[in-house]
Structure 1
Amino acid sequence: MSICGLRRSVMAVVIAAAALGVVRLARADAIEDFYRGRSISIVIGYGVGGGYDTYARLLGRHLGKHIPGNPSMVPQNMPGAGGLKATQYLYGVAPKDGTAIGTVARGQPLTPLLLGDKSFDPLRLTWIGSVTDEASLCLSWGTSRVKNWQDLLTKDVLFGGEGQGADPDMFATALNRIFGTRIKIITGYHSTRELTLGMERGEIEGVCGISASTLISQQPEWVARKTVNLLVQMAARKDERFSSVPLIGDLVQNDEQRKVIGLVIAGQAIARPFFAPPDVPEDRKTALRAAFDATMKDPEFRADAQRSNMDVNPMPGADMEAFLKNLYATPKDVVQKASAAIQIGR
């Protein structure tokens, strides 16, 4: 190539790079112009005071400053049907312009797969990120006859639930079907806070599905004073803060049980999920995901979480999307067995 030709090629590259920079700047300006002076609703599928509510309000205190235009964040509790009410609202009613996000039970994204719910398609939702993964605990009140895993297999016990598709209902039902535990469920509670109050009032003896982070942040004295009996960890990996409490995967008796219970507890990997409705414009989707990722690294956010003993081990939105696509490719025979294990009333 001649010197003249080389110069033309270099000039073309410089012009193209400059043009690309202008386009990116214009897009950033458009995002900033859109969000400036606006608010973003954070729809929370549970009542005030529970773990999902606490994580949503934690995120809401910091996310806005990482979104161009710095919109205000407005929490909106919408409890009902284990988070399904909020999911359906975000899927079919909420604005699709990037001004509404939400959080619901970690098991909700799996309900179309495992429970045949056709009211929403989780693969169409705009996944923004999950603040942390989680181990959930099955526990009983200190006065209950059920003190450990072996007691669950041999003694009747009354546990609380939140509705089909919520962890306390799915986990308790799965333990009954797969392992032969003797849990009876009273459902209809709207939050972890309501469930814990139910135990304190003697309405129920326990819960199978209280997040470890929620227990530590909201009821640390229960652990210190042994007010509750910790029975089993429902998670893919053990929370070593409760090293003496068995992991459900270590209690399975064959490979089939391992695969089925593995699918039932798969939502633990995206324990504090945040998403927006389908069809959010691509540039705003990118902005929301970038803001979430920046918030997870924000020292002020981290310090805020630490003050409240809240775990932070995030999964980006793109990884959540890939994770769910992989789950929905699970072999049909495993899906059918997991579905049969968690459906209430079958």
Structure 2
Amino acid sequence: MTDRLSRAVKTFACSAVFCALLSQAAAADVTIQVGYGPGGATDVYSRIASRHLSKYLPGTPDVNVVNVPGAGGKRLLKMAHAASETDGSVIYAVGFTVVTRTVMQDSFDGNEIAKLSPLGSFGRDFPFCWSAKNVAPLDRAALVAPGTKYGATGKGSSTYALPMGIKQALGADFNIVLGYSGAAEVFAALERNEVDLVCGVDPTNPDQFRVAASFTREGLDPAPAYPVILDMIEDDASVELITALTDQTYPSIPFFVAAQTGADTLALYREAFQKLLVDPEFLTDMAATKLDLNPLAAVELDALIDSYATMDEALRDRIIALTE
């Protein structure tokens, strides 16, 4: 990397700011830290991105992927708080649900948490609940029945927050099974009927599962073949709660850097993310996975984060209480 940097500096003239950034970024490789276990959608997108992002970063650093599963992304944000990297050398791939919590509170379980700045999101989606294909479709009553088991990756995740929202909005008393390291593991549990439902995250192999419910009617046919959670709720306060929880999942595969990252470096990384999204080799690799690519720009994520920072205090407290 040092030789490439030397040749670049000899060949091209650059501004003082860009040269400083070039030296800074070339000093260390880049690591994408994934807040979940291997094999899930966030992990797959991160590994594909790692193969192509380098060409758009100063010094063309090596880009590595490290999985840091635990508590639905909470563990990664606790670790990120203690880290000192503010030069873009660490990119955080963690759910938007847990990141919005960082603007609503300063700690998880008494541990301080990192504040993050978005680079963009590879996907946008309104959440579904999924069931296994080897069982009969679930009706409205089964969704909230006491014996029903929802699988979740941790209390910081949408896989936990959304079922908790259903419990509170509908007065249900079903079970939520925690402890899965990521989407791949929780969907494997769903496939072997260890749990009945998984909400708030999509499988990488959707043909092997069945949509059991949607939270909203956004993007659906007029008469969907499965229940819509918001249609089951009657009081305005619960509708407001479920809507806020579903909005947290809308940016489905976001990337972040530390909030303390300098403005010039942040702009450079956001530009690199946008260039990656139209890279022909990246798009070819994405097409092979059959996963959706429906990106959101960083400014759109900034606006969503700000909406949670300024939301009604009573609603904020209800969301926090759901996932404590």
Q: Establish whether TM, by shorter chain, passes 0.5.
A: yes
Residue 232 of structure 1 contacts residue 247 of structure 1 at CA under 8 Å; is this kept in 2? yes
| Counterpart for residue 62 of structure 1 | 52
User: Aligned in 2, Cα 1:144/1:111: closer, same or farther, shift over 3 Å?
Assistant: farther
* Richer in helix (by share): 1
Deviation of residue 273 (structure 1)?
1.3
Which of 204, 207, 224 aligns to 1:221? It is 207
**Mapped partners of 1:171, 1:116: distance in 2:** 22
| Counterpart for residue 8 of structure 1 | none
**Mapped partners of 1:231, 1:309: distance in 2:** 21
Q: Please say which of residues 167-176 and 299-308 is displaced more in the overlay.
A: 299-308
Deviation of residue 129 (structure 1)?
1.3
Structure 1 position 280 matched with structure 2 position 245: no
Structure 1 position 38 matched with structure 2 position 28: yes
Which of 197, 222, 235 aligns to 2:188? It is 197
| Counterpart for residue 10 of structure 1 | none
* 1:187-215 deviations in Å (ceiling 9; x for gaps): 0000111112212333222222332xxx3
| Counterpart for residue 300 of structure 1 | 281
* 1:37-68 deviations in Å (ceiling 9; x for gaps): 63101001111101111111122122111112
- Long gaps (5+) in structure 2: 1-11
**Mapped partners of 2:94, 2:217: distance in 1:** 20
**Mapped partners of 1:127, 1:229: distance in 2:** 32
Counterpart secondary structure, 1:69: coil
User: Aligned in 2, Cα 1:246/1:60: closer, same or farther, shift over 3 Å?
Assistant: farther
Structure 1 position 127 matched with structure 2 position 115: no
* 1:188-243 deviations in Å (ceiling 9; x for gaps): 000111112212333222222332xxx3xx32432xxxxx4422123583366x95
Which of 227, 236, 242 aligns to 1:261? It is 242
Which of 313, 317, 336 aligns to 2:294? It is 313
| Counterpart for residue 161 of structure 2 | 170
RMSD: 2.7
Residue 148 of structure 1 contacts residue 229 of structure 1 at CA under 8 Å; is this kept in 2? no
Counterpart secondary structure, 2:250: helix
* 1:47-106 deviations in Å (ceiling 9; x for gaps): 110111111112212211111221111101111111111112223315122211111122
Residue 96 of structure 1 contacts residue 280 of structure 1 at CA under 8 Å; is this kept in 2? yes
Counterpart secondary structure, 1:265: helix
| Counterpart for residue 152 of structure 1 | 143
Residue 106 of structure 2 contacts residue 112 of structure 2 at CA under 8 Å; is this kept in 1? no
User: Aligned in 2, Cα 1:121/1:234: closer, same or farther, shift over 3 Å?
Assistant: farther
Identity of aligned residues (%): 23
**Mapped partners of 2:193, 2:113: distance in 1:** 38
Counterpart secondary structure, 2:185: helix
* 1:93-147 deviations in Å (ceiling 9; x for gaps): 151222111111221113246677354566x422211111123321233455761
User: Aligned in 2, Cα 1:181/1:219: closer, same or farther, shift over 3 Å?
Assistant: farther
Which of 38, 62, 76 aligns to 1:72? It is 62
Structure 1 position 184 matched with structure 2 position 165: no
Counterpart secondary structure, 2:96: coil
Residue 236 of structure 1 contacts residue 265 of structure 1 at CA under 8 Å; is this kept in 2? no
- Taking structure 1 as the reference length, the TM-score comes to 0.80
User: Aligned in 2, Cα 1:198/1:153: closer, same or farther, shift over 3 Å?
Assistant: closer
